[in-house]
Amino acid sequence: MRRLLVIGAVVAVAAAVGVAIAIAATGGSGSGSTAGGSTVSVQKVDGGSVLVDSNGQALYRSEQERNGMVLCTGSCLSFWQPLMAKGTPKAGSLNGKLGVVKRPDGGSQVTYNGKLLYSFKLDSPGQLKGDNFKDAFGGQKFQWHVVRPVGASAPAPTKSTPPPTYNAPTY
């Protein structure tokens, strides 16, 4: 019996160390990529100017999140990664204002002109798979749009495919 308790304690410590390493690898508390010291900038993607993070990932906003209200939590974060900041985010030649809001987990999420910024986990740099994407998590419906800098307009659509839709299971 004593031997089983020792083995159980070793397994518990190993699991805790694994969790701590995973948290450190993802940038500490909260979910999302960290913009501490990095820059939000503008790039041309699919013929239009969009905001991107320091990895070149396009940044999105949801229509439903307004006035700093964070609605994308829980299973929503399995697709949408909040752009997190430690300190004040930096804007490289960007018209408009970057700021931060506190997320329910205590982390600071970057905003652009008051809109919360996210990257889409199914995108790679140079892709806009999340633009006009519709999904639902925990009964909350979302519609996502790529964030364009102040004064930029979207390029004319080149194909007539409807935007993708995903309905996550409710738990």
Condensed to tens digits (0 to 9), the pLDDT of residues 60-112 reads 999 999 989 999 999 999 999 999 998 888 887 788 899 999 999 999 999 99
Is-contact 86 96, C-beta < 8 A?
no
Most distant CA pair in the chain: distance in Å?
A: 71
pTM: 0.71
End-to-end Cα, the chain, rounded Å: 38
Condensed to tens digits (0 to 9), the pLDDT of residues 106-139 reads 999 999 999 999 999 999 999 999 999 999 999 9
Helix (H, G, I), strand (E, B) or coil at 26: coil
- Looking from the CA of 76 toward its CB, the CA atoms found within 13 Å total 24
Output phi, psi for 67, to 5 deg: 55, 40
Distance from the Cα of residue 39 to its chain's centroid: 15
